């Protein structure tokens, strides 16, 4: 899929079949070494995670942030990669792409999608990675739902809900003022409906929900208890209370895939009643002229 978009692809060494350490391919320090080497390599212009997992929190303190500042490059992925996007945005301002992973996304969910949808995604990802003009409106689908009407503009901040919460428990937490006027996006996979309610309550208790201007919620996957009351919209609106912010729900990003890309830190406009979400800025900058 990447080569069809015109990109040259290199496989990182830790993708070697058979590598194994507990629930990952290697120890966190080994993954950090490989990640840092890719960040420092001038030939590598973007990094796409093979999969998610449960390891990123183990190497957040080992990342070469100076390499990112010297040569910013797009990092793509979702699930555990949410931690990378949020921490690197907090530490360097890098706009990470909460977008499809290589294997379960491009190699699986995309293959199961209708041909027209694949072509639409190919064009979208290629334009997002190489274009320097704002994308504008993301392609909507009938699944999008207005859970609370209204319109908002702000920085797009978020990821997997439980990873957003975990980031805020580290020394790399985003300052609360960064959420002022932000559009919070989140998705969740696995667990139980009460866990979603509890994690949203944590965001309320730490003050994030008092600062945001809008919310975009992804399609839930494998969350127990949502087949009866309360529904996910009921959970969200219960935690939000009387906060008058628009909520656009059931948007295709995250584990439900294939994913619309959600660039962290990019200014967006959301109109829940019109079921629209627009990227108002480019996620990449023009190449330097030498």
**Would 225 be classed as within a structural domain?**
yes
> pLDDT tens-digit profile of 39-84?
999 999 999 999 988 999 999 999 999 999 999 999 999 999 999 9
**Would 140 be classed as within a structural domain?**
yes
**Would 214 be classed as within a structural domain?**
yes
At residue 286 the predicted structure's pLDDT band, cuts being 50, 70 and 90, is low
Does 30 have pLDDT greater than 50? yes
Here the CATH number for the domain that contains residue 198 is 3.50.30.60
- Greater confidence, 131 or 185? 185
Q: Which of 116, 203, 101, 105 is nearest to 162 (CA)?
A: 203
Check residue 40 and give its pLDDT: 97
> pLDDT tens-digit profile of 256-281?
779 999 999 999 999 999 999 999 99
Check residue 290 and give its pLDDT: 40
Q: Which H helix or E strand runs over 269?
A: strand 267-271
* Residues contacting 11, CB < 8 A, separation 6+: none
Buried b / exposed e along 263-289 (16+ C-beta atoms within 10 A): bbbbbbbbbbeebbbebeebbbeeeee
**Would 227 be classed as within a structural domain?**
yes
* Residues contacting 205, CB < 8 A, separation 6+: none
| Beta strands at 276-279 and 267-271: parallel, antiparallel or unpaired | antiparallel
Check residue 288 and give its pLDDT: 47
Does 37 have pLDDT greater than 70? yes
* Residues contacting 116, CB < 8 A, separation 6+: none
Residues of the domain holding 202:
136-279
Measured from the Cβ of residue 121, the count of other Cβ atoms closer than 10 Å reads: 25
**DSSP per residue, 45-100:** --EE-S---S-GGGTGGG--HHHHHHS---EEE-TTHHHHHHHHHHHH----EE--
Largest interatomic CA distance in the chain: 60
> pLDDT tens-digit profile of 191-210?
899 999 999 999 999 999 99
**Would 148 be classed as within a structural domain?**
yes
**Would 51 be classed as within a structural domain?**
no
Q: Which of 130, 128, 127, 174 is nearest to 155 (CA)?
A: 174
**Would 57 be classed as within a structural domain?**
no
**Would 64 be classed as within a structural domain?**
no
Percent of the chain residues past pLDDT 70, beyond the cut: 98
What gap in Å lies between CA 166 and CA 146, rounded to an integer? 28
Residue 206: Cβ-neighbour burial (10 angstroms; 0-12, 13-18, 19+) = middle
**pTM recorded for the entire structure:** 0.94
Q: Which of 193, 239, 184, 177 is nearest to 217 (CA)?
A: 184
Number of domains the chain is built from? 1
Check residue 226 and give its pLDDT: 85
């Amino acid at each position: 899929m990447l080569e069809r978009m015109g990109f040259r692809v290199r496989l990182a060494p830790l993708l070697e079949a058979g590598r194994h350490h507990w629930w990952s391919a290697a120890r966190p320090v080994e993954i950090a070494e490989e990640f840092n080497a890719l960040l420092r390599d001038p030939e590598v212009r973007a990094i796409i995670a093979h999969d998610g997992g449960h390891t990123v929190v183990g190497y957040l303190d080992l990342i070469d942030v100076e390499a990112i500042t010297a040569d910013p490059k797009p990092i793509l992925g979702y699930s555990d990669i949410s931690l990378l996007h949020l921490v690197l945005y907090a530490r360097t301002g890098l706009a990470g792409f909460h977008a499809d992973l290589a294997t379960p996304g491009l190699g699986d969910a995309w293959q199961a999608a209708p041909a027209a949808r694949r072509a639409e995604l190919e064009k979208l990802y290629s334009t997002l990675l190489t274009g320097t003009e704002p994308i504008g409106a993301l392609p909507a689908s009938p699944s999008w739902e207005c859970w609370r009407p209204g319109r908002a503009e702000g920085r797009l901040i978020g990821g997997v809900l439980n990873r957003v919460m975990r980031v805020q428990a580290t020394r790399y937490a985003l300052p609360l003022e960064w959420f002022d006027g932000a559009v919070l996006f989140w998705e969740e996979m696995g667990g139980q409906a009460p866990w979603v309610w509890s994690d949203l309550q944590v965001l309320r208790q730490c003050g994030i929900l008092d600062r945001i201007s809008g919310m975009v919620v992804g399609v839930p996957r494998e969350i127990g208890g949502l087949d009866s009351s309360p529904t996910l919209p009921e959970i969200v609106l219960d935690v939000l209370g009387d906060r008058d912010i628009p909520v656009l729900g059931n948007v295709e990003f995250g584990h439900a895939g294939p994913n619309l890309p959600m660039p962290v830190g990019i200014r967006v406009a959301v109109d829940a009643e019109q079921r629209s979400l627009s990227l108002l800025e480019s996620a990449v900058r023009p190449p330097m002229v030498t």
